[in-house]
Amino acid sequence: MLSEYYITCIAIDGYKVVFSWNEIFNTEIGNHILIAIEAGGLKAEAMPDRMLLFSAMDINTGRRFVKGLNKIVVERVN
């Protein structure tokens, strides 16, 4: 049943990135999804882009780079 879930990461500006449950928990990609809450000694609230999320294992980088990560939503496919 967990295969029916997906995770949406949403930025402050509305940009969205989607991961499947299996992609995160059953592939190497899941071991390389990073959320930065501090950079250059600055805490998230002091960083211009707040929290950052990126998938380091993606072949084409940039598409799943989220600046200003605002929320993470877990939903079930209908």
Q: Residue 48: what pLDDT?
A: 67
- Residue 46's nearest CA partner among 56, 36, 55 is 36
Residue 20 near residue 39 (C-beta atoms within 8 A)? no
Give the C-alpha separation, 72 to 8, whole Å: 6
Burial 22-33 (b: 16+ CB within 10 A, else e): ebbeeeebbeeb
Residue percentage of the chain with pLDDT more than 90: 49
How far lies 38's CA from each of 1, 28, 59, in Å? 35, 24, 25
Domain ranges of the chain: 2-76
pTM: 0.82
Q: Residue 20: what pLDDT?
A: 94
